Chain A
Amino acid sequence: MNLPLLDDVLFVRGNHSFLLVAKVRNPFALCIETFSEEYCQGVSEGELVVVSAPEAGPLKPALMLLELVRTYHLPLLVLPKDHPGSKRISYVLSAGPEIWTDCSIRRGTHPEQHLICSAGELSGIRLSASANGVDISPFPESLTVERINPLLT
């Protein structure tokens, strides 16, 4: 399903979790900090920034996280595999032209930006930036999508 997306944010909800999907406004270097290295990924205008809340929770911190990266270009911190802090992470973020949701990875421990941790109900979805929006495939019937103006929330 192709959904138009410009300056607003898509609030994609399952029954027990959600995703926020937005477009990059201006290109920037996204820094990904791992235990031993820093990687920098150029993110282009029109690519996606996706926040996943695998256990749902409040919307506002998810929007804040999205804007901290999209607007203020804060780096992403990646925990080492098996780090005990993984279970404390309520929201995760990935950015790039195409992002797959996956419930079989540990939260906050993978630097790859083409994957994002999700709940099982949202796993296996491909989010792909298109010229005027985003392609979401497959699009489970249980999903609902709302548009959010981040400036008014």
Chain B
Amino acid sequence: MCTVGGPVDMDIPPDRVRGKDYRCNECGERFKGVGKHPMCPSCQSENVAAV
């Protein structure tokens, strides 16, 4: 079973998720994106740029 409460766990380093900073060109929202298709969390636009 899953190791809930148990001693075994994968040692995933704290910087395991590395988001890149983006700015939405539609609404100006700044956010940290992960994955291949960054998308604005406020207006759902894919018109975003890395900053």
- The chain A residues found within 8 Å of chain B, CB to CB, are 27-29, 31-32, 34, 37-44, 54-55, 81, 86-87, 89, 96, 102-107, 110-113, 117-120
Contact = CB atoms under 8 A, between A and B. Distances in A.
Interface string B1-22: 1111100111010001101000
A37 B5 CA distance: 24
- The winner among B1, B35, B37 for most chain A CB atoms within 10 A is B35
Contact of B3 (A44, A55, A96, A104): A104
A90 to B, nearest CB: 10
B2 A105 contact: yes
Given A40-B38, A54-B2, 20 more contacts: A27-B46, A37-B17, A38-B32, A38-B41, A40-B33, A40-B39, A41-B35, A42-B37, A42-B46, A96-B35, A102-B10, A103-B2, A103-B3, A105-B2, A106-B3, A107-B2, A110-B12, A112-B17, A119-B1, A120-B1
- Summarize A's interface: helix, strand, loop or mixed: loop
Interface of B: 1-5, 8-10, 12, 16-17, 19, 31-41, 44, 46
A117 B5 CA distance: 14
A34 B19 CA distance: 12
Given A41-B34, A54-B1, A112 B16 contact: yes
